[in-house]
Structure 1
Amino acid sequence: MPAPLAVSSPFKFLDAYTSADKNRFFGRNAEQKRLVELLFRSRLVLVYGPSGTGKTSLVQCGLAKAIPASDYFSVQVRRRGDLRQTLVSILTGILEETAATEPTGLIAECIRYALRPIYLIFDQLEELFISGSAEEQTWFAGFLKEIEHSSIACKIVLVIREDFLAYLYAYEDQLPGLFDFRMRVEPMSERNLQEVIVGTFSQIEEIRLVDEPKTVDLILENNRSAANTFQLPYLQVYLDRLWRQENEKEPEPPVWITPALVEEVGRIDDVLEVFLAEQKKSITDQLPPDEQPAVSQVLESFVTFEGTRREHRLASLEETARLPISLLMRILTELERTRLIRRDEETYELAHDSLAKVIDKGRSAEQRQINDIIRRLKEAYREYIEKKEADDLLLSPRRLSEIQLYEKSVHNELERSLGKSESDAKWQYIKTSREFHQREQRRELEEQRQKNARLKRSIAIVSVFLLVALVSVWFAINQWNKTNRTRIVLQSDRMDPVQALVTVAEAYEKDPNELNRKALYNHFYNHRLYSSKIELDGTAIRGVDFSSDGKRLLLVAEDNRVYRWDPTGQQNGEGLFIPGRYLSVELSDDGRRVVALVEPGKLFFGDLETHQVQRIGTDSTISTATISRDGRNVLTTNAEGLVTVWNTNGSKVGTLDALSPVELADFSPDDKMLLTVPKLSNEDGSLNKKLQLWDRSGNKLIDSQVFIDAVLSAVMSGDGNVLIVSTLRGQVFRWDRIRRLVTPLQMTDKSSLITEVKLSADGKRMVASDGKVVYWWDENGRVVDHLAYERQIRSVELAPDGQTTLIVVDTDVELWDADKQFKGKLSHKAAVSTAVFSPDGKTILTQTEDGKGYLWNLLDERLVELPHPEGVRDFDVSLNGQFISTLTDASWLYFWDRAGKPLDSLETRQIMEQILVTGDGRNVFMVDTNNTTFRWNRSERRLTEMPGEILDYSEDHQIILVRTKTGKGYFWDSDGQPIDSLPLNLNENRVFMSNRGQEVLLRSKEGTLYFWSRKNRKAIELPDGQASATLSPDGESIIALTAGVTDVLSFWNLEGKPVASYPLKTGRLSDGYRISSFRISPAGEQILILQAGESQAFIWTRKTGALNLLNHNKVVEKGDFSPDGSLITTLQSEGQSVWWSSSGQRLLEWAGAINQYRFLQDGSTYYTVQNSRVSVWPGPDFILPWLNQHISPDKRRAILADVREEYQLQTSFWEAIW
């Protein structure tokens, strides 16, 4: 059975460094000095830290390296079954003979024997609290106290894992200074890790480190993980793996550790887990099938229920594993040979605590449940004993039920882990808890019997309340339904966008509370909806792409099948099985043939119609394969740099022998040229830097360019005239073949590493990411914009027209336009691994790590977009929403219908600031930067300057209030004709007109109000001191914020008589602030107040008198009510828009910045402006109608059924009971 012994590793591997390894111990100079300093200051030092940080190596080797051996005598102590007995045994073994039996006396004799102070190092002290008895723990506390108060020359170092540090707090009463001299061993910094790697290699004669900085950086990169800190045991195993892989190739020393070797070994996310799996497999492969499970059984015996390592003698291991001794010894021999366990005299244990974690993670769900029960039992028992056995610390019935479920297994594990006496104590605790609850149950039963007796006497009264009980049941069911819907809605963030929207819409229809309303708004307005979801039965999707003409989709599945789908999300035919691990797969434009390159470099053609697969050629070293756009040829390169052209029927066209060795060859987008990238290994250094373009036959050189560094890759524009070239040192160049110009792409951060640049079809726009920042470049190579992220950017893609960029971040794909305006988010349940545009740029295809694919339309179905060539300054909508007019920064006016179709346009020749469109759309009024008003009559095509400045207008846009330069006020009709005048000077006054256009309110700088009505035609002066004022929506009231010692909301009727006043209990809003907005809700029951320059808004409610604060992150510039008053909308200084409920609850934070927004009067439509784009959305009350129109009831029911099954949701009270 035994396998041949492997060549001995020169690395420490999982063993701790000892005093014999002083010349090989690196990276802990600061910690060594700190430890020595603490030992000089105190006789009791505590060393703690996470598992795997090198605590044992520091106290064993680091201390020996820092202090001469003549200055102290080190004694290493592990628990080994019983800490006191082990300590006595170690000390007795040091002395030749002694009559002392107590540890303190033995220590004193050892000091006299060694003629120097003794340092007692208690390593892995957590074992005392995992497996030690209460008596053993108590003795140890007394021993420490005795040593601390004695005069003997003894120092103690306690070494413990950080997650067990809390157990030492019980010792503080006896050892008040226990934590005064403590030291935490942190994970190593990157600089120290570099020192460890370089130092380790330097001490091994038969190993040579090549290109030291790069090799070390690659080793660190391959061991770095976002989920875990860098663990030293993992590094040792990885270094050993490098050495072994190279040693197997060339056994004769020296062994060369090169960057290529590190890249070949690659990243191993959990190298220790991989090492354990490999060693287990090497052992189990040597055993008969019926004996193979014994290996896992033996390994698990070395792990405690806490997930830490446990030591065994052979007898205890035989009892625990319950295996024949012959089989057990064979397995132990192999485990020791493979360095998974180590033997110390008669004791076996795992080589490192990190192995225990890996083994514990691989335990069955049942065993983990048992271990969890024991951990909680042990903790509960400890607290029970500390609190003098209080009844309220007995185990609960729920905990007892859990124990009863696994009673036999828990009992066996307790005896095995803690010993019989400790196990019996814990079991007595369980028994006491059961007896206590049985007594409580009997007492409750007796109380219930008495209650029943009283119930019989009260039966007549109960019957009277039967109806009340029935109502209560109904109420309980109703409450359960509400609570359950809340639970379902809270899970919607885990669903895909369509599932989430349908689910929350169902909940909102049944219960339109604020939580459901908030979820509905968020999933509709902030998340795009996919057009199709792609799933394969029984297998996961592992690769997706469009054919080069965009008419078909290519799907590569986990079951080694290739599938063809159409862009609507429908599968075309059965999958085609191609053997081997895919390196690349491409689909021909006719959608029939696939070209697959599989490991180690074999080429296959497959026919999706006939399901035939054909091996092409005999070369097994092909490194790249690409199919031409016309589908006639396939171009391949092999390991020797040879380029071959094949027909798609499998025949060889020829080999391009005239070309220098090539790393990569590809067809140009128009199929007229071949692009070749030279191999880096070319002996002629100039060839490495030369990019070449050939005719399609490869016989004629069309163009070439030499770069300053070796070429790695290149991508071409649609016409082949522009190439983006990446070089070895990380520089990226734009080669314009027409202008014969090579331009390096500008980098704002010189440390950024760009690996791939995306190019628009016309070659004028480029985008790339370094993982944290997205950069955009123009055709001159200048950075035109950038966007930073806190999360890691997975990839970026550029639409063929260069107008849209998609950025993949975790589970989201964000869309940004050419002006860096946010266009929406494609949300997924799992991390996105692939996201690409279709060749026409109208569709996006995404694939997630859970094996699903999604198709998204670039044009958002939820809204209508009105694109402009420049920024939009202002817009207006006719009363019925039929017409939309927009003003742009380039002095253009555009006229649209509600479907987004352009109807008309006008060049205004001067910049306009404000626009107003009449209800019938015939006239458009505009105000320029000088407050001059113009009227454009669309039918007459005439732009006329008007004698006045527009101040306000009625809700239906039929009456317009204007002010002349002399301050006179006039009312115009929708044709711009005067219909009335205002006998008040409007200069130096704030002016408000009622919604119906019949009343006007003026507020002077001093705060005096003047009211005028077209009906009674007289001006009424109201008291001064008004910080802000307005008219109610119905025009029947005047409302003002009156400044005073306490601000007051004052109400007057149209005769100027006060009708109500409401002091604001929260203080003065006007004190030191200017009121920038004072809005009344449509029903007149609420007031929204904004303060200029402040990041807050206030909502006052007449019914309660409460003034609620709406907190914002930035300055609030605008606020308003929705047409029905159920929503409050605010806009902050950086474009962040927030929706609030009328009670002040935050409902929606719009994704992306907007410049303006507006509701249509009936609330059916919501308009937003983002720089050059106006978006027309369904209003909040029209989400459900939109959903019913776009997703049929049958499809919604199917989606809800899928959601219920996938997330195991209960959708009714009776279903939950059943």
Structure 2
Amino acid sequence: IFSPDGQTIATASQDNTVRLWNLQGKELAKLQHSSSVSSVSFSPDGKTIATASEDNTVRLWNLQGEELAQLQHSNWVSSVSFSPDGQTIATDSQDNTVRLWNLQGEELAKLQHFGSVSSVIFSPDGQTIATASQDNTVRLWNLQGEEVAKLQHSGSVSSVSFSPDGQTIATASDDNTARLWNVHIQEVRKLKGDFGDGNRGSFSPDGKTFITINCEEKTACLWNLQGEELAKLKHSGSVISVSFSPDGQTVATATFNDTAHLWNLQGKELAKLPHSGYLTLHRGNWITRVSFSPDSKTVATASEDNTVRLWNLQGKELTKLQGHSEPVTQISFSPDGQTVATGSLDNTAHLWNLQGKELAKLQHSDLVDSVSFSPDGKTIATTASYDKTAHLWNLQGKELAKLQGHSEPVTKISFSPDGKTVATGSGDNTVRLWNLQGKELAKIQHSSWVNSVSFSPDGQTLATASGDNTTLLWELGLDSLLTRACAGLKDYLQFNPNVADEDRRLCD
């Protein structure tokens, strides 16, 4: 993980160590445990690192790798986290406790459960800790370790979360209920149903509305923070997906019986979108294809009839995007919401405007796995499963570049934050960097397939991870890249008879 200022990277390993690195890849420190490391966390100011291990300890370190404190549990420690102000550390362990510590390593409190702790979270203001446990309870504590309240379920509690404003607590349990509680620790209501994906609650973006689903009863329910049911959204098939629009004013639901619905926060059905086949079974995964535009005013749905349709929030079909010959698996709006990109099992991606005019057909030789826009929305990147390429396109559908050079499928693709560089990772054990003209800037070698490529927030460092159990850091400053590239190309440019005269002095 990167430190908050992006200048230091911490990597954890099953070799019982955490190592700190600078952006030049120089190892700053090796932090030694006597067993595998399970969790690493930087303090908010980036000056302290906390590491948790199966050796039953948490250790605090400074950036020079000096051990500041050793925090002892009686069983292995599964996670460690800092409070929002960075002054308190919470650790949870398989010894059924959560412990609070200050930065000097002094134990402030031991928070006791009677079963394994599954979740620990600080409130947004950092004044309350919520812990969830297999003892069927959630307990709330102040920073002095005093138990403020015990929230009782009849089954193991799998998660606990605060609303964004910290005024409401949501809990989910194996007793098949979700419950909302106010900050005065009164149970507002027992909410029947599941929390949706990951057994978690879904708050609206403003934190004022909560949604649950119940597959067996074929309903989704909206609740306010007082626990009052705003609406029961009844369907004729099991509800498998719910999502809020970006502005939080509209809810989209998708079901197994191939319908999608739009609702307002009062539970009024705005539209039933008469489209068939909202799910596609792709490589063993069901793909739900309902997507909001960035301004929340348009909804795109994809169907087994190989079309995508655009709708307004009143359910009026604005246009039908017709041109694919197989089901659509990907829908993406450009950042400004004016262009829609779709990817399909028919080996193509298409670009459309909001009037349904096809701007371009982007051809691959295998099914399209991903379609994404650059941060400025001016470039589209597409990848296909087994044709071993990535493609860059402009908004007019002109192919800017075919990123060709990998000898195995492209597994990851990422734009730099400024949108000017693309990194691709592949099963051929390499990461390659490209400019928007498709010129390969660098080839980075691993000894196994690449499973992650990630730019630092300032775009100056690339982190790559591989099946060879290494994470590598690469300096991506333009001057550095040009120096390294020209070091390898200068003689080629100068002496190769096939190089044009105007290109021979590119590195001068």
TM-score (norm 1): 0.22
Larger radius of gyration: 1
TM-score (norm 2): 0.46
